[in-house]
Chain A
Amino acid sequence: MQSNEKEVLLSVKDLKVIYTTDGCMVHAVNNVSFDLNKGETLGLVGETGAGKTTIAKTILRILPDPPAKVLNGQVYFEGENILQIPEAKMRKIRGNKISMIFQDPMTALNPIFVVGDQIAEVILLHENISRKEAEIKTMQILEMVGIPGERYGEYPHQFSGGMKQRVIIAMALACNPSLLLADEPTTALDVTIQAQVLELMAELKEKLNMAMIMITHDLGVVADICDKVAVVYAGEIVEVGTKEDIFDRTKHPYTVGLFGSLPSLNMTEKRLKPINGMMPDPMDLPQGCNFSPRCPYAIDACREKDIEFTEVSPGHFVRCIRAEEVK
């Protein structure tokens, strides 16, 4: 990557989000910080309920409040804290400079409008052009994601799952965003279709020089498409670094556990090494390190106080006091 591209686009600092339900507090996101440079792809990896989607929705400011509440933290996008700006201004950014692809292509489209109009709506909202021009632009975008332009007038039910996801991608890219939040964009798709969609996304990202946050639970997808990886566990980032840091120099016991849980295709041993126990209840997080109840390396010091983020090598941060001993 060239040095002039190393410009910070998005910077999330000490983000803390809670959900309140029946008087209980659920700590969905705790002290999450990370930076994303222009044109870079960050993989946000973790299991169900880790808080990945909440992080993305906070950036886009689409969390329902109540029950969700951002307690603390800043999100700097192009140098401006977008958590503080008025909603009217945010609406100009949303769908324009930052857009999002949702997980389930089956529910993200409105079934009673033709797909073309749903894409054109985004363009009309953000660009000062006529309806006719927007329609032409929509057809170009459809072609770009591999859908013939003449399918503009078809309804979502006439498209297959993979094709619907392409429509969603087209919609997200309609205004050439500089940041794309992709929330499990291929999870609902079959592998051969997933391969098509991932290839398309990588290609478009390159072409449009767009930064991307790829939310996924699939480490295979991460290896494929990401530059940087942040591993999320129980609302916290436990390890962040370049793809090489995470895959080759894994430091956090949870990340090690994730890799051990995956049946690999070139595996020789006949038994998986799962992580013991379950993810903690976010209403009742353990003292100290959230992973300590399941961690084979846990010692008393782990349970005493919150663990600091430490830099083990330039750009590779780990939230574990025994990181050096982890193998």
Chain B
Amino acid sequence: MSTILEVQNLKKYFKTPRGTLHAVDDVSFKIEKGTTLGVVGESGCGKSTLGRTILQLLDSTDGKIIFEGEDVTHADRKTLSRLRRHMQIIFQDPFSSLNPRMTVSETIMEPLIIQKIMCKKDMLKETERLMDTVGLARRLTNSYPHELDGGRRQRIGIARALALNPKFIVCDEPVSALDVSIQAQVLNLMQDLKNDRKLTYIFITHDLSVVKYISDEICVMYLGQVVEKCKADELFEKPLHPYTKALLSAIPIPDIHAKKERIILQGEITSPINPKPGCRFAARCIYANEECSQPQKLEDVSNEHYVSCHRVYEINENILNSKEESV
């Protein structure tokens, strides 16, 4: 396997009247070809900004984005146009991300027209093929978005993202606006496409059960920073960061016999404007002490399980120690 995308110390700050908003603050990761990286976090943690900054829909403040070995951090228009063939995005809201004046086929065909890679006849054929791929009936070719329900609209968004046969897709909450029965259809479709076309996804979501289903690796974000990163199964089996623990315990489980030991977090997410150095979760963390006001880094605590917490060894004494013995 080879690395398709590498992000190094990526930062995206926004200037606001009240100070600098640290939307994405020093995020680094690598994604292997053909895998899915899940990015989870609550609203306002910077996960969408991260996705958009990687695709250069937003200009990064600092850091590097390396796509297939090429530094594309501040690519010019020409390079970007070439990159767009390989990097695409599926947006969250299928109701506002489609142009209401364009028919289904016009929407799906638009990337092909812009990139001028085939003649008109081939484009029409390609559009039909794409509609088949994502499960849109051909009779909808000339329908407008307002005639369709959310599930079908999201399929248009997926077809458009696939039109140029990209290698890498940022999926920004692609199923959040859909009902569960439709959500399951779309998730299965995305999984099939990934296997058939060897796609690489960054899957951004706030829904932890969805992220577990679709991801190979997961990053948990809190206020612009990655607090924990590891293999998907491992995250759910042994979360190590206090925030991840609380987040996992807060999910209502549709099983009435499940044992629930809920960690209820006090307070709410603090402001990302001019954050203090040190752990940003400390204000809500039951384990926080004075040490936590010192800056901290994501470190590998066991077998590529990265955690950013001063007290990670103390808190998880039994898990981490027993692991070392067995190794």
Contacts and interface: CB of A to CB of B under 8 A. Distances in A.
A298 to B, nearest CB: 16
B256 A271 contact: no
A137 to B, nearest CB: 26
Interface in A147-183: 160, 162-163
Nearest to B175: A263
Interface string A271-299: 11111101100000000000000000000
A219 B151 CA distance: 20
B321 interface: no
Given A199-B264, A275-B181, A192 B42 contact: yes
B250 A195 contact: yes
Contacts of B269: 190
Contacts of B252: 194-195, 198, 218, 220-221, 223-224
A100 interface: no
A191 B209 contact: no
Interface string B250-269: 11111110101010110011
Interface residues of B, number: 41
A274 B188 contact: yes
Nearest to B177: A48
Main secondary structure of the interface of B (DSSP, over half): helix
Given A199-B264, A263-B213, A243 B256 contact: yes
A267 B187 CA distance: 15
Contacts of B181: 47, 257-258, 261, 274-275
A247 B187 CA distance: 24
B182 interface: yes
B247 interface: yes
Contacts of B185: 274, 276
Nearest to A242: B256
Contact of A247 (B42, B209, B251, B256): B256
A278 B236 CA distance: 32
Interface string A259-272: 11111110100111
Interface string B114-154: 00000000000000000000000000000000000111000
A162 B268 contact: yes
Nearest to A254: B181
Interface string A187-221: 00011111110110000000000000000011111
B246 interface: yes
Interface residues of A, number: 45
Nearest to B254: A219
Contacts of A270: 191
A263 B188 contact: no
B169 interface: no
B184 interface: yes
B278 to A, nearest CB: 20
Given A191-B206, A263-B209, A217 B250 contact: no
B256 A160 contact: no
Contact of A190 (B42, B150, B212, B248): B42
B180 A258 contact: yes
A272 B150 CA distance: 19
B256 A259 contact: no
Nearest to B183: A261
A304 interface: no
A248 interface: yes
Nearest to B187: A272
B206 A190 contact: yes
Considering residues B213, B214, B254, which has the most beta carbons from chain A within 10 angstroms of its beta carbon? B254
A202 to B, nearest CB: 11
B84 to A, nearest CB: 31
B65 to A, nearest CB: 28
A264 B254 contact: yes
Interface in B195-225: 206, 208-210, 212-214
B184 A272 contact: yes
B43 interface: yes
Nearest to A272: B184
A191 B247 contact: yes
B307 to A, nearest CB: 19
Interface in B297-323: none
A191 B268 contact: no
A259 B254 CA distance: 8
Nearest to A244: B256
B179 interface: yes
Interface of A: 47-48, 160, 162-163, 190-196, 198-199, 217-224, 243-244, 247-248, 257-265, 267, 270-276, 278-279
10 contacts: A47-B180, A191-B247, A192-B42, A194-B250, A196-B265, A224-B252, A262-B180, A263-B187, A265-B253, A273-B184
Given A48-B179, A190-B42, A221-B252, 14 more contacts: A190-B43, A191-B250, A192-B247, A192-B250, A223-B254, A257-B181, A263-B209, A265-B212, A267-B212, A272-B213, A274-B181, A274-B184, A274-B185, A276-B185
Instruction: Give 8 closest A-B pairs by Cβ, nearest first.
Output: A220-B252, A274-B184, A263-B213, A219-B254, A261-B184, A195-B250, A190-B42, A47-B179
Interface of B: 42-43, 149-151, 179-185, 187-188, 191, 206, 208-210, 212-214, 236, 246-256, 258, 260, 262, 264-265, 268-269
